[in-house]
Amino acid sequence: MVSAKRRATTLRDATREAAKEVLEANLELVRRGLVLYTFENVNGISRSDGLVAIKPSCVPYESMKAGDIVITDLTGHIVEGSLRPSSDLATHLELYKAFPSIGGVSHTHSEFATSWAQARKPIPCFGTTHADYFHGAVPVTDAMSSEAIASDYEKNTGSAIIRTFDDLDYEKVPGVLVANHGPFTCGCGRSCTQRGNSGTRSACCLPYDCN
Amino acid sequence: MVSAKRRATTLRDATREAAKEVLEANLELVRRGLVLYTFENVNGISRSDGLVAIKPSCVPYESMKAGDIVITDLTGHIVEGSLRPSSDLATHLELYKAFPSIGGVSHTHSEFATSWAQARKPIPCFGTTHADYFHGAVPVTDAMSSEAIASDYEKNTGSAIIRTFDDLDYEKVPGVLVANHGPFTCGCGRSCTQRGNSGTRSACCLPYDCN
Amino acid sequence: MVSAKRRATTLRDATREAAKEVLEANLELVRRGLVLYTFENVNGISRSDGLVAIKPSCVPYESMKAGDIVITDLTGHIVEGSLRPSSDLATHLELYKAFPSIGGVSHTHSEFATSWAQARKPIPCFGTTHADYFHGAVPVTDAMSSEAIASDYEKNTGSAIIRTFDDLDYEKVPGVLVANHGPFTCGCGRSCTQRGNSGTRSACCLPYDCN
Amino acid sequence: MVSAKRRATTLRDATREAAKEVLEANLELVRRGLVLYTFENVNGISRSDGLVAIKPSCVPYESMKAGDIVITDLTGHIVEGSLRPSSDLATHLELYKAFPSIGGVSHTHSEFATSWAQARKPIPCFGTTHADYFHGAVPVTDAMSSEAIASDYEKNTGSAIIRTFDDLDYEKVPGVLVANHGPFTCGCGRSCTQRGNSGTRSACCLPYDCN
């Protein structure tokens, strides 16, 4: 049995590590030109601890520190951190619960993917890099109802994503366009060969996304 | 009663603060890639003093200092500053007088918004960020008559904008496309949650505006 | 009468000044994102001396110095400089002889203006900045014949441009699209209010040219 | 006769030189904005040694050193280097064997050229720079069969390119679009007048490729 003190130490270590990785992944989005103000974000999950590390809301990237990253459990309860977590947290928690092998979620408003999302069209697969990552079209969710938008928008966004994967294998299709909104992507691995770093790389590889 | 000397000091302090904020907002436009030469600008108003801080005309951003920002009253009379104010001042004064709660006005020629303005089409609302900021389409003014262009172009631009808001709530629709010209945006608040910083952020969030 | 020695000194001074200005204007093109390798250039003329300062061929901008700028007379004879002048010189000399008040010529392959040039369509005037600079459409030359391309391409490019201005006032229309090629622009003044710096600014203000 | 020791020394010198050039050409792709993560690459061949210098797989450009460049012979056997060569090596070896005068091969996924490749359309020649480099349309390969994709994709990509040049002179047409993939370009010379630096410059000059 691990003592309470030992566990707390381990938890803090895992927390610090997750916070650093999430900070780095967010700064990577900035470097790739996929960020406007503080609207985008990446978060990650430590499956062994059941803890999620997420970007705080409204903190500019220029001054963001690892200590600003908020740590929550899978119910959204804050375990560590004094700032307010990104409003996308409710969406991401739905995804972590529905898709047990994903390690991170990324959300951007990159120009071209957002155009497809706003047109409510899946992005057809025309190229090799697209095929390597998505194994077919990038799917698009159904448009959300006015009720779903007005009642609990972020959580309902998660539900809309999950419904889209009823007939898709989320481990083979690492991203989706939320109709009228933009792309959400996930990552299942960390190494270069596994392709993916908390979803960041998939986000950057969405067809037509990068300059 | 505040003594004349005390008032002058207060005024200079407010002036300096407004000048610094307007300088910073202009440099933010530069950082966001929305500026070409010196054609764009942001200005701000101190409602308590009734003073407007505006970018000088033809001064490159690279060398612009807070002391270069021109301070005028609501009639356009220069209160402080030795440089010529931006020619857009006449437009902005109309807006400050018509819309009492706006704290700043921004004008850019950002590529996509300008395309819509030149096509004289409102930008339809297809996405969430657009909806969060504009609560509907980004409106477009009527095209100005040749007489309005030839006689007092800047002031008449202000009038065209004001007419567009006859049936719109300017506190909910923080920007407009001037037909054949480009976007003008306003900001009513300063904090992150209030969204807006002298109109800069709204300008940057115009759909399709940012890379 | 000015002594030969005095004249030589004056000439060298004017030469040095022109070289510095032309170098700076070329670097401005680079800063504006209008340059790919060494294909673009700006040159300038000292009307009082009848001397042209032009970018050397194939010298990367990163290492270009004022001393690399080549000085020629209006027949293309090199007066100062050890490098080969840009191959566009023959085009520019035609323009200096045909349009006596221009002080500089700029040639870029900026993306959007080049698209219009390749489509052989004038750019219609839809906006205020365009109107301020061009007072109407940006004209396009006739397509050159195979003979004109094969025999003396650069000089014939100048002739094609000149023919386009048969019915246009070159002081009001500071640029033209060469069909199947790209934009050439001229500047008649140096101060901010006169708009123009050896054509650079006009080049940058071509509609749709700048990000 | 050259002694074994002398030959080894010469080989190492040539190897080092080729590695440096290939590193520099790859970094040039980065500077030109043609690189996303590690998917693109340039390699070069020393014809006198029969050795190919190629970028390693999955090494970020930020930390890539000349010592990371992998040296192989024309069968793909690694002669020097401890990292895994780019998976494109098999394609490039086919090209080096089929086209004896090329000195380098470059592969990017630049946005516009990739769009044409995915549309499986040759890029028609509308402009002078395009004409200077390609002397006509940029050709496109036939689409590869599912069998060719599944069996030995990289080598079969080389074969598809070679078939495209059955009726074309590869010394006059320095690049091709691989259908559903992207552009591959070659360089036959090194000096500025010969235009080309292991294919990098041709890649950058593909019409519509560069901002």
Question: Tens digits of per-residue pLDDT, A126-183?
Answer: 888 778 778 888 899 999 999 999 899 999 999 999 999 999 998 888 889 999 988 8
pLDDT of the residue at D67? 87
For residue A6, pLDDT over 70 is answered with no
Closest to C198 measured CA to CA, from C16, C34, C26: C26
For residue C39, pLDDT over 60 is answered with no
> Looking at CA atoms only, how far is residue D171 from chain A in angstroms?
27
CA-CA distance, B112 to B171, in Å (whole number)? Answer: 23
CA-CA distance, C19 to C81, in Å (whole number)? Answer: 10
Name which of A58, A118, A211 is nearest B126 (Cβ-Cβ).
A118
| Residue pair D54/D43 in contact by the 8 Å Cβ criterion | yes
pLDDT of the residue at C148? 94
Q: How long is chain A?
A: 211
Other beta carbons within 10 angstroms of residue A49's beta carbon come to 16
Q: Name residue, tokens 């931006």.
A: B86
The runs of H, that is alpha helices, within chain C are 4-31, 89-98, 111-119, 128-134, 146-164, 200-205
Touching D (3+ Cβ pairs <8 A), the chains are: A, C
In this structure, what DSSP letter does residue C31 have? H
User: Mean pLDDT in chain D?
Assistant: 77
User: Mean pLDDT in chain C?
Assistant: 77
Is A37 in Cβ contact with B204 (below 8 Å)? yes
Please give the average per-residue pLDDT across C97-116, as a whole number: 82
Name which of C33, C39, C211 is nearest D129 (Cβ-Cβ).
C39
Cβ contacts of D160 on chain A, cutoff 8 Å: none
CA-CA distance, C152 to D73, in Å (whole number)? Answer: 46
pLDDT of the residue at C194? 33
Cβ contacts of D37 on chain A, cutoff 8 Å: 201, 204-205
Q: Which of B146-160, C23-37, D3-17 has the highest mean pLDDT?
A: B146-160
Which of B126, B190, B193, B194 is best to mutate for the A interface (most A CBs within 10 A)?
Answer: B126
Touching B (3+ Cβ pairs <8 A), the chains are: A, C
Is D126 in Cβ contact with C180 (below 8 Å)? yes
| CB neighbour list of residue D34: distance below 8 Å, 6 or more residues apart | D40, D108, D109, D110, D203, D204, D209, D210
For residue A111, pLDDT over 90 is answered with no
For residue C121, pLDDT over 90 is answered with yes
> Looking at CA atoms only, how far is residue C35 from chain D in angstroms?
9
pTM for the complete prediction?
0.78
For residue B195, pLDDT over 60 is answered with no
Name which of B33, B119, B181 is nearest C211 (Cβ-Cβ).
B33
Other beta carbons within 10 angstroms of residue B41's beta carbon come to 25
Please give the average per-residue pLDDT across C186-200, as a whole number: 41
Is B111 in Cβ contact with C211 (below 8 Å)? yes
CA-CA distance, D143 to D67, in Å (whole number)? Answer: 37
Is A128 in Cβ contact with D37 (below 8 Å)? no
pLDDT per position as a tens digit, C195-210: 333 334 444 334 333 2
- Cα separations (Å) of B192 from A38, B99, B195, D72? 10, 21, 5, 56
Amino acid at site C151: S
Please give the average per-residue pLDDT across D55-73, as a whole number: 86
Q: Which of B17-31, B101-115, C126-140, C146-160 has the highest mean pLDDT?
A: C146-160
Which of A35, A58, A83, A111 is best to mutate for the B interface (most B CBs within 10 A)?
Answer: A111
pLDDT per position as a tens digit, C69-96: 899 999 999 998 899 998 889 999 999 9
The residues that bridge with A176 in the sheet, in sequence order, are A184
| Residue pair B6/B184 in contact by the 8 Å Cβ criterion | no
Beta strand residue intervals within A55-165, DSSP E: 70-73, 78-80, 104-107
Closest to A139 measured CA to CA, from A81, A178, A189, A100: A178
Is B129 in Cβ contact with A118 (below 8 Å)? no
Higher pLDDT, C128 or C11: C128
Task: Give the number of beta-carbon pairs within 8 Å between A and D.
Answer: 30
Cβ contacts of C211 on chain B, cutoff 8 Å: 33, 111, 211
Is D201 in Cβ contact with C58 (below 8 Å)? no
Touching C (3+ Cβ pairs <8 A), the chains are: B, D
Query: Could you tell me the two tokens for C196?
Result: 């123009």
Q: How long is chain C?
A: 211
- Looking from the CA of C195 toward its CB, the CA atoms found within 13 Å total 17
pLDDT of the residue at A90? 94
The secondary structure of chain C in percent helix, strand, coil, rounded to multiples of 5, reads 40, 15, 40
pLDDT of the residue at A59? 81
- Cα separations (Å) of D89 from A139, B3, D52, D73, D105? 33, 81, 9, 11, 10
Beta strand residue intervals within chain A, DSSP E: 41-46, 51-54, 70-73, 78-80, 104-107, 175-178, 182-187
